[in-house]
Structure 1
Amino acid sequence: MRPDAPPTPEEIARAFVLQQAQADSEPGTPQEGAKLADKIYQDYLATVEPNTEGPGLLAFIENLAGERSVTNADRGPDRAFWSYVSELEGTDKPVPNRFLAKACGESRNLQVLEDTPAGHQLNSYCLGNDNVVTALSAHFDFDEAELDAVHGDAWDTLSKRYAQETEGMAVGFAADITKGSVLGRIEVPELLANSKVGKEGIKFATPLPVNPNLPAEMNTFMANDPVRCQLRLEDCNDPEQSPEEFAMKLHAIDVPEDQKEAHGRIVDRLSTADSYKDLNPAAPEAKRQSVRTNSFLPGVNVSHGIIPAPRSGLTSHGAIEPTVAPHIAPKPAGIET
């Protein structure tokens, strides 16, 4: 099986099993939170030199993110990246891409950040869980808002290192790439800058949803992996934006040689259209439904575990529905950190 092949029914089913397992692992009581806090404290003490004053919880988290390995020695060179959820054929509900990536990591020998030594350790600490954070205050002196920020920064650091160390194929599990997600802010830019990956090394295992506002030719063009990875949801999702403004953004991307003719043709067509209705007169009035949902709660940047609500507004790879403008203009891209 190709690393970027569409997910199988078995992998999709496994994703939901993994999602439930993560939910079950979250400390649901103060007693469970205290037990995990004690483990975190013991891990911290193991890093402190005898007869010295340790750096504190925040520095411990920062050091973990900056120093522990982001490579699973038991997996191959290809790496999975994810964001938000995807609607896949044969399923009656959105599939959480975080756990779909993890399931495909198992079956396809892909690296997955949450399965690396650093990612697994930080994820296991459940630092977005109120029971854990409250219990940690018995061991450390810290400000909860500051811990929240350091926790989010730690996942940003891990995601950046994880993308930078990619040497094989980068396999995306996502629909749209949003500018605010870890995938859009950090991982894809790092992959594009990585000489061992670049736009040709980024592939998507999940489909880009068809945009009914656009002609078939444009949907096909934007679903091309080297094009898709350079576009963002917001590039043409602004209701105040004209097709010409989207044409300017599309013109700026670097496309493969065999796509240049189609690229120029589409940019010209967008540039001369007064509205998206001009581009696709037969488009239905109903806009494309978003494939992201908040039925899947775990965060990565702020809270890697499944919790009733995030401890801050940051949403990492994309586990919580982002606030976006109404789907008036087409939405091009989809690898939501």
Structure 2
Amino acid sequence: MFHTAVCDLLGIRYPILQGAMQGGGGVELVAAVSEAGGLGVLPTFGGTDQKLREDIEAVRTRTGRPFGVNIMPMGRGITERCAATCIELGIPVVTTGRADPGEAVVRRLKDAGIKVVSVIPTVEHARRMAGEGVDAVVASGSEAGGHVGTVSTLPLVPQVVDAVRIPVLAAGGIGDARGFLAAFALGAVGVQMGTRFMATEESDLNEWGRERLLAMRETDTIVTRAMTGATVRCIRTPEIVTYEEAVARGTDAATLKEMAAQVRASRYGEGKRDRRQSAAGQVAGLITGIVPVADLIEGMLAEAARLAQGLPAVAGR
């Protein structure tokens, strides 16, 4: 049960991808997700080529199963460098996010035999990536942590499914068996989860992030441009709330730029616990404990199977 087209496409046992996370998604988590039957994905945001090579080698010492690398477009040079490293080292799957890496990069990856999965926030973006030749897309709703669009998962996924003829996975607000099962009702053939995997024993989420995550309600995230200049859903902090209130008041651009710098600086500093792992999705309100990755995946699948059997039989009624 739950073996879908994406399992065959990516060579994985279960249709579950781990979202690439800069903070919380290190080598141990990536390896654990792949070892448990999903697809672990390494982040590259802000890292060096040497760091990426070291991380790839570290994952390979921990699992012989497929894993992926996420290429975050941050300029042509960085994007092409990451792609070249993935090709050189024989990475089987590359995910892309935040922006289109460009058809030339997609084609280079495809010509090297790499499967390309693009994380997209709109139907238009899904069509564009399908036209460039990617193998699958992840329709990521605004509930997700990290860089987000404006369309939520429930309306986004079925519209993307209708618009493209490649496998579609769902992301955003998925963290338990109910969300996993709902993704299939929307037409998806798998899911991508990020925030839920942060709350696992193998995650490298720091003390501040772990404590905050377990205490969060569904209203404790906020979307802001203060972090990167693009819209990011992250853990609500006083500094970010102050920034967003200034935006709403129509504060001038120069002042907002200074305030954004203060927001980023507030994640560090003497006497403060490290808050770098601040991206989180609305699903955080569902998280009540830290568990091993294997237990999370197996438990979620078992519960989804149980729930599927208990769905109302509406045919003929």
After TM superposition, the score normalised by the length of structure 2 is 0.27
Structure with bigger gyration radius: 1
After TM superposition, the score normalised by the length of structure 1 is 0.26
